Chain A
Amino acid sequence: MTAPGWGLLLTVLLAGWAVLDGAVQGGVPLVRALGGRDDARRRVVLATVAPFLLLGEVWLVAAAGVLLAAFGHVEAALWAAAYPLVVALLVAWVVRDAALWLRSRLASPRWRAGWDVAAQAASLALPAAFGAVAGVAWVELSVVGALADDGSGAAQALAVGLPVVTAGLGVAASRVHGGLVVAARAPGPIAQAAARRRVRRALVPAAALATLAALGALAVAALGTASALVAAVLLVATAGVALAARFDLDRGVHRSGAVRWSGPVLVVAPVAATAAVVGPATLALAAPAVVLQGLTWPVLGAFAAVVVAQAVSWRVLVRPLGPRTAVFL
């Protein structure tokens, strides 16, 4: 497999993480809002996203492995530039996981309420940190980074602004996506309606941030990284989908294609846009062809096995909540 193949694999893994773990990142903030003070209600909300936890976060672990093996120089450059953000990402991830796994192990109401707050805070920080790291990648792995170092005012403004916008987009996108997953899987009509109201509120900020990010991508393209044009087109289209979804929800149509797809489109768009912006620079920094070739079959074989295992698991686990649902979180 050549460097573009590895780049595609990395993008697929990150997109898989964005969709699967995005459901948890966006679903957990609804736990306190929809559950109120009733612990059992909170756990029902958790149960709607619980199967996505173990099966989703490994996609980012695998992506980090591919980054390390095939794009080690990219990883070193990116981590050096985004050091505090990577540390924040790790802390948020670890706290989120610990909160979800530990909250229901003891019966004390204070113990559970405390972990719920921690999980909610971490679910805000995790997509924000990931989005910000993506924004830093836009800067460091395009012409912007070099221009900012040379003192270009426009580039310096982009270097600060882009990570902020992508962080916001990450949060808004996860809220829409997770909210839709909860709305689709929550057992009671009241909970479904409440989740949908939250989605409706998050759609306009998501569209606005996607538009801002598209403008940022246009600026990056204007400064000299032509591939950012693709990102701009993708992000504008995403903003369009988000607005169409909002329009449908306002009309009371909540089963339309725009509503159903707005979640996955919103969480995948930043990943795809990042791939478009940083693609050329990343491929140029890929490991030597001989290393990539040597790893092709082990990695593709592993990926095939994983895809089969995940497909089987999804068939078993993604079904309406019912008396045979396992509640553990």
Chain B
Amino acid sequence: MTAVDAARLQFALLAGTHFLFVLVTLGLGPVVAILQTRWALARDATRAATLEGATRFWGQLYLVNYALGIAAGIVMELQLGLHFPGLLDVAGGVFGAPLVVETMGAFFLESTFLGLWVFGWHVLPRWAHTAAFWAVVVTGYLSAFTVMVANGFLRNPVGFAMVDGEARVTDAAALITNPAALLSALHVVGACLMAGAFLLVGVSAWHLRRAPSRLPGVVAAGLPGAVMSPENDVWRRSLRTGLVTGTVGAFLAVGFGYAQFGYLQGVPTGEAPVVGIGYAVMQGVGLLAFVVGCVLLLLLPGNVLFRMWRPLRVAVFGALTALLPVPFLTGLLGWVAREVGRQPWAIAGVLRTEDAVSDASAAAVVTSLVVLVGTMLTLAVVDGAVLARLARRGTTRLALGAPPAEVLHDADPPTPASGPAPGAAAAPERAELLTFGGTR
């Protein structure tokens, strides 16, 4: 394997991993924000409790996903300088601008507000706490847009002039309104909303499908759809929200997908077969998701979806859960189609990929490929497994937003029924520590 191949493969695998987390972050973000807003506005106590549970459940999944997303993003940021310094030498003056705005502004604010949201949970007034999460969502989308401006410049370079072999911005507005940035960003927004929605719908359907078995009396009494535990209410609301956002997302993804064919006519593109396959799959998945989403939306009034003939309902919910990976695989394929479609260019018509790579030896690049990709993929798989466990666990024992006393004891061994606990002498000191110095 040559150093060029290794550098490209490393970038592709790391960017692919990062992209999976981004899909969830951007897709779930608005949903959590909407749920929390409705919780903040709810006057009825039961409704508020349901919405609080939903906010904390989806917020916790958002966070566990975000933890690895930020890590994968950090690795991505340094990939450019590490393996494609030619890109910075030729186009650092153009390409660096959106990236510095991203790191210095959008992402910096996003992480700050997220920290405020998580660790200021019991301190901030409810409205400020909700506003903090909206700020996370807005800056997250801003962050994604700046990255698309950088990526759009590679695909369709506009608004620049070459001076002494280096690109210079001549028209910042053209750079920002580049169709390869604007239309593609809206397409990606649609894809993210779809991914978040599939997650929302898939997990909720999994819980709803199992729900009746938990209340055998109701099922035995033959009351279809009569199961209405508070937790079921969380899943129903989540499923409804997911159907709405997913259908909107599919509409955006397909609409702005087709809109991109316009500018692609004038840009040098590759002939790799994966590009054609990618386009075909994306069209198929997007259109199908939209049609199915519309049908399911029609079943929402009167809760028809939740009151259907039970075997049919179980089958539909099972299918919705099984389809969960679809938008993620499609998103990856779309990303591959975009990047491979640009080859052999790093910047279409300006800089070839082989001229952009560093002169690090193939052995060094392969070693870092094994180390970095190995670490990231391992962590991604572990993170996915944790997400699955948390999703299955449901709204019981949520750490996010719980009082500290509750969270700190979640791994304590059960207290023995009789006799003093071992190490009872240390108990007052431990109690003081775990209540943060008592109730002073």
List chain A positions with a Cβ less than 8 A from chain B. Answer: 38-41, 43-44, 47, 50-51, 53-55, 57-59, 61-62, 64-70, 72-73, 75-76, 79-80, 83-84, 86-87, 90-91, 93-95, 97-98, 100-102, 104-107, 109, 112, 187-188, 190-191, 287-288, 290-291, 294-295, 298-299, 301-303, 305-306, 309-310, 312-313, 316-317, 319-328
B-chain residues with CB within 8 Å of residue A51 when the two chains form the complex = 115, 119
Check B433 against A188 for contact (C-beta < 8 Å).
Answer: yes
- The reply to whether A328 and B119 contact each other, CB–CB distance below 8 Å, is yes
A-B contact pairs, 17 of them (CB 8 A): A55-B111, A58-B111, A58-B112, A59-B108, A72-B92, A76-B88, A80-B360, A83-B368, A87-B371, A94-B71, A94-B379, A100-B67, A287-B96, A326-B120, A326-B401, A327-B399, A328-B399
The answer for the CA separation of A76 and B433 in the assembled complex, in Å, is 49
Q: Residues 155-172 of chain B: 1 if any A CB is under 8 Å from the residue's CB, otherwise 0?
A: 000000000001011001
Say yes or no: A290 contacts B432, CB within 8 Å. no
Flag if A69 contacts B64 (CB, 8 Å).
no
Q: A187-B432, A326-B401 are in contact. List 20 more A-B contacts (CB 8 A).
A: A38-B430, A40-B412, A41-B430, A44-B433, A54-B111, A58-B112, A68-B92, A72-B92, A94-B379, A102-B382, A188-B429, A287-B96, A288-B93, A291-B169, A302-B105, A316-B120, A316-B123, A325-B122, A327-B404, A327-B408
* Closest B residue by C-beta to A39: B411
Q: How far is the CA of A191 from the CA of B120 in the complex (A)?
A: 24
B67 lies within 8 A of A97 (CB): yes
Within 8 A of A (CB), among B378-429: 379, 382-383, 386, 389-390, 399-405, 407-412, 429
Query: In the assembly, what is the distance between CA of A50 and CA of B400, in Å?
Result: 14
A13, closest chain B residue (CB): B104
Residues of A within 8 Å of B63, CB to CB, are 101, 328
Whether A55 lies near B115 (C-beta < 8 A) is: yes
Stretch at the interface among B39-47, B75-83, B191-199, B280-288: B75-83
A327 touches B104 (CB 8 A): no
Known: A62-B108, A91-B372, A188-B429. A69 touches B97 (CB 8 A): yes
- In the complex, the answer to whether A87 meets B368 with C-beta atoms within 8 Å is yes
B108:A95 contact, CB within 8 angstroms:
no
Q: With both chains docked as a complex, state the minimum distance between the C-beta of B358 and any C-beta of chain A, in angstroms.
A: 6
What is the bound-complex CA distance between A97 and B115, given in angstroms? 14
Instruction: Give the residue name and chain of the B residue nearest to A87 (CB).
Output: B368
B436 at the interface (CB under 8 A from A): yes
Which of A54, A190, A323 sits near B429, CB closer than 8 Å? A190
**Is A323 within 8 A of B405, CB to CB?**
yes
Contact, CB under 8 Å: A68 / B100? yes
Given A61-B107, A316-B116, does the pair A105, B390 have CB atoms closer than 8 Å? yes
Which residues of B have CB within 8 Å of A68? 77, 80-81, 88, 92, 96, 99-100
A295 touching B97 in the complex, CB below 8 Å, given contacts A41-B430, A44-B434, A73-B89: yes
B238 CB to closest chain A CB (Å) equals 20
Q: A residues within 8 A CB of B99?
A: 65, 68-69
Is A90 in contact with B122, judged by CB distance below 8 angstroms? no
Q: A10 to chain B: closest CB distance in Å?
A: 11
Q: Select which of B102, B376, B429, B433 is within 8 A of A65 by beta carbon.
A: B102
Partner of B78, one of A38, A64, A109: A64
| B223 → A minimal CB distance (Å) | 36
B80, chain A: closest CB distance, angstroms: 7
**Nearest Cβ on chain A to B36's Cβ, whole angstroms:** 15
Complex Cα–Cα for A93 and B111 (A): 16
Q: How far is the CA of A288 from the CA of B410 in the complex (A)?
A: 56
Whether A323 lies near B403 (C-beta < 8 A) is yes
Is B248 interfacial (CB-CB < 8 Å)?
no
Structural contact, A306 and B104, CB atoms closer than 8 A: yes
Residue numbers in B under 8 Å from A325 (CB-CB):
119, 122, 404, 436
Which of B71, B78, B359 is in CB contact (< 8 Å) with A86? Answer: B78
Bound-state CA distance A50–B382 (Å) is 22
Q: How far is the CA of A59 from the CA of B103 in the complex (A)?
A: 9
Query: In angstroms, how far is the closest chain B Cβ from the Cβ of A115?
Result: 10
A313 to B104, Cβ gap below 8 A? no
Q: Would you call B120 and A98 a contact (CB within 8 A)?
A: no
Contact call B120/A317, Cβ cutoff below 8 A: yes
Tell me the minimal C-beta distance from A85 to chain B in angstroms: 11
A325 CA to B80 CA, complexed, in Å: 39
Q: Is B364 an interface residue (CB 8 A)?
A: yes
Report if B121 contacts A (CB, 8 A). yes
For the complex, is B265 an interface residue (Cβ under 8 Å from A)? no
Chain B residues 175-192 with CB under 8 Å of chain A are none
- Shortest Cβ distance from residue B107 to the other chain A in the assembled complex, whole angstroms: 6
B114 within 8 A of A: yes
Nearest first, the 9 closest Cβ-Cβ pairs linking A and B are: A65-B103, A302-B105, A101-B67, A69-B96, A54-B115, A76-B85, A69-B100, A72-B92, A72-B88
- Any chain A CB within 8 A of the CB of B113? yes
Asked whether A291 and B437 contact (CB < 8 A) given A44-B408, A299-B100, A306-B105, the answer is no
- CB of B401 to closest CB in A, whole Å: 7
Q: Out of A65, A76, A79, which one reaches B100, CB within 8 Å?
A: A65
Query: From residue B433, how far is it (CB to closest CB) to chain A in Å?
Result: 4
A317 in contact with B122 given A72-B88, A302-B101, A323-B436 (CB within 8 Å): no
Chain B residues 252-283 with CB under 8 Å of chain A are none
Q: Which residue from chain A places its CB closest to the CB of B411 in the assembled complex? A: A39
A299 contacts B101, C-beta separation under 8 Å? yes
B218 within 8 A of A: no
Q: Contacts A41-B430, A75-B88, A295-B100 given: A323-B168 contact, CB under 8 Å?
A: no
On whether the beta carbons of A317 and B411 are closer than 8 Å, the reply is no
Nearest CB on B from A90, distance (A): 5
For A76, list chain B residues within 8 Å (CB).
81, 85, 88-89, 358
Selected contact of B82 from candidates A47, A67, A79, A105, CB within 8 Å = A79
Q: A61-B103, A62-B104, A326-B120 are in contact. Are A54 and B96 (CB under 8 A)?
A: no
Given A76-B85, A299-B104: A65 and B358 interface contact (C-beta under 8 Å): no
Mark B352-380 against chain A: 1 for CB-CB distance below 8 A, else 0.
00000011100010001001100110010
Pairwise interchain contact B81-A79, C-beta atoms closer than 8 A:
yes
B405 contacts A324, C-beta separation under 8 Å: no
When chains A and B are docked, how far (Å) is the Cα of A188 from the Cα of B234? 39
Q: Give the shortest distance, in Å, between A182 (CB) and chain B (any CB).
A: 13
One digit per residue, 1 when the CB lies within 8 angstroms of any chain A CB and 0 when it does not, for chain B 293-327 equals: 00000000000000000000000000000000000
Contact between chains at B108 and A306 (CB < 8 Å): yes
Tell which of A43, A53, A326 has the most Cβ of chain B within 10 Å.
Answer: A326
Q: Once the chains are docked, how many angstroms separate the CA of A65 from the CA of B80?
A: 11
Expressed in whole angstroms, the Cα–Cα distance for A190 and B428 within the complex equals: 12
Partner of B436, one of A100, A105, A106, A187: A187
Q: Name the residue in B71, B108, B113, B364 with the highest tally of chain A Cβ atoms < 10 Å from its Cβ.
A: B108
* Structural contact, B119 and A83, CB atoms closer than 8 A: no
Residue on B nearest A326 in the bound complex, by CB: B121
- Are A93 and B112 in contact (CB-based, < 8 A)? no
